[in-house]
Structure 1
Amino acid sequence: MSTYNTGIDFALQLDKADPLASYRTKFHIPKHTDGTDIIYFCGNSLGLQPKVTKDYINQELKDWAKLGVEGHVHGKNPWLSYHELLTENMAKIVGAKPIEVVVMNTLTTNLHLMMVSFYKPSQERYKILIEADAFPSDKYAVESQLRHHGFDDKEGLILWSSRENEELARYEDLEAILEEHGDEIALIMIGGVNYYTGQFFDLKRITELGHKNGCVVGFDCAHGAGNVNLDLHNSGADFAIWCSYKYLNSGPGSLSGVFVHEKHAYRNDLNRFTGWWSHNKETRFIMRDDFDMLPGAEGWQLSNPPILSMAAIKASLDMFEEAGMDNLITKSKRLTGYFEFLLNELHNESIKIITPKNPMERGCQLSIQVKNADKSLHNKLTDAGIISDWREPDVIRCAPVPLYNSFEDVYIMVERLKSILNER
């Protein structure tokens, strides 16, 4: 749908025709002080809790209480292989093969584990390229890797910057960087969807460009998993990592996902940190054998996984499987398109959408830059029952999530924003 209209009746009409509308009732929606539902546009920071999450966690608590250690093999969902229950659905969400995906650890920990294997600097080729406005933890992580290997963390870091007075990064500028510095760059590590602007990068294009210049290519897909069609396998990327607590609704600080391309599945020559959960499952508990690496992404595991956190992930992934990622992306484009339309209909020169206009170059997030604004604007939105995300110096990030946000939510948000802007 590319044609929208103003007015609440149109929003209600869209909700009535939405085949995914019922999923909203499957989530806990926070309440405003007046008892009404909060308009929650912060799923790009922390997704809402599915109502079934408690049941999934309680099942494992019951098995722990009833079975103790025997829950590892005799539980309803045996803990020894619990992570395998997540693999297929997670692989579908990120566009990968099951052998390429594992859920383990947390986001930046996994980024470091990937760089242990895939960042292999030499004196001639050691630099790391990231986007200039990468999420801070990514920048901190790659700088620390440079220092760890004995390189200067400023001289060894190359930034892919947007041009002056522009917010979005251009591929021709990336090409120019690689033309000049390609033989010095060991690793390209880009955020698949930029956290600030919401720009969804062309992962395949970046990977092909990096590989052409002899670089390893990885992506932080924290703002992409469950939001856009990442198509990781076909991108050809060497690795990717993402968290599960944003669009994947697994709870604060929950586990991370890892993608390692199939072409690396059986490589014994890759340096890696190892632990007993990356050892052959058939002989893992003999505990006398030399290390026997598991193939695929599972071969990067270290420890036995935290089951209670994985239960929360399973609750959400089962819902994604039921709803269908393609259906969710279709609704997401409609929600965000409608949101963009209503913002433009305000004809307010103080606001500017810095997220790409092309729906194929963004997910559900729109980043709204507000001229001469400070965080007091965000605070007023919060007081008005709108939960969004403020990013300095002047951007409100808003993410209408297709699983639990409605077209009515979008309409109400824009109406309340308009009222606050008119008071300025």
Structure 2
Amino acid sequence: MAYRERPYQQFTPVDDDGNIIGSAGNGSGGSNATADNQATQITRETQILNAIATLALQFPSAPVGDRLKVDVPALSDPPTNTALTQILAAIKAQIDVASTVWTDNSGAFYVRRDLVNESNGTATVSFTDPLGNAATPGSGLRSLSNNKTTLTDFYDVLTGGVGYSIGDLLARIAIIDTSTSTPTATFIWLNFSLGTILSAAPTTANIESSNETIGARQVGTWIINLPTGAAISAKQPALGTAGSASTDVLTFQGIAGGIPLNTISSDINTTGNITTADLVSATVIGANNQSIITGIPTANSSVSISANGYNSFLVQVAGTWTGTLQSEVSFDGGTIWYPGSGFLSGTSYTVNSTTNNCAIKGNATDATNVRVRATTAITGTANIRINLSQTIDPITVRNPIRLFDSVSGVQASIKPANIPATASDTALVVTTGASKCDRTNFK
């Protein structure tokens, strides 16, 4: 089939089902390809091209899921650029920035709308009633937005008062209003246990802050059943300062009636001056000429110290004085006294009195008191110091060794070598035996 160009377009019109209606522009019948017919054809084709261009504007710039979106309805009369520009200007001119609810002193409610013109930046405020009708608020205009903050603290009741009792839990609610230039605070007291509002704030001394960690506090009287003999009170001992006497001594009690354990932690001492003789105390003689002293000594005639729990004492005498001083011990808290013998420090002598300066070391075990007392007239001033210690002194044989006859019980006499024996002296018999030596064993 040969191809031949034609000076006109040829097309075959069809209906919706594809049936040929007729042909046009084929040059063999039908309408002639006159200038008028060609102009009409060009006009129709131009309309078709414009419609296709308008429709193309409704498609996305890129496919959606590899497909073109074709469900956009065609515009029967698409707006012009001028119309779109006018619409955009109208939108910019009226923008609803915010809508809030307000009230005034009359109690009426208003809707406030804040508008801004984006084209020139002008802001406009208008009010309407809840139905949308224009309205003018009265005096006292204010926002209904929440400008209040609440803080809550809890308290336990220690002593009852108006509107609350012991054991109740109270809440103090602070309402802070920040809507004004200077914030204000309002306080409300609530009885949390009863759910009632107090008419007035409770007395400060009647409440205390609740322990939030525990969550509750027991107040009032507690009843605790203790075993028979258990202590119902406790005391924290004040042990004092090291090196100084303490008025509190911590002891541990064993069985009922038992002896407390000694828990003294340091040595103690006391000092004083003796300037006169004791003219008041009375002395009687006990077994084996032991002196037993009672009464309260004359003032300035003695120096004394409590010795409970201590094992030894040391009396130091110094100063310039004359007279006789005696060391004494008591076992009943100072009612009855006995001479307290001791060694003169650094010597082998045992004494319980002195007429000169010295240091006497004695035993204070089981003693309740130790003292030094003037038993004769005193001149000058004797400076006394008494030390008490828990240290137990080494055992010392204080009495002389005596030898007795095993049959008669008579004590033997021991004399210096320069004094001759007499017929009345008790004889000592010493038996000796001859030494024997087997000389054959020596080489």
**TM-score normalised according to structure 2 size:** 0.16
Bigger Cα Rg = 2
Q: Which structure's relative contact order is higher, taking Cα pairs within 8 Å and 6+ residues apart?
A: 1
**TM-score normalised according to structure 1 size:** 0.16
Higher fraction of strand: 2
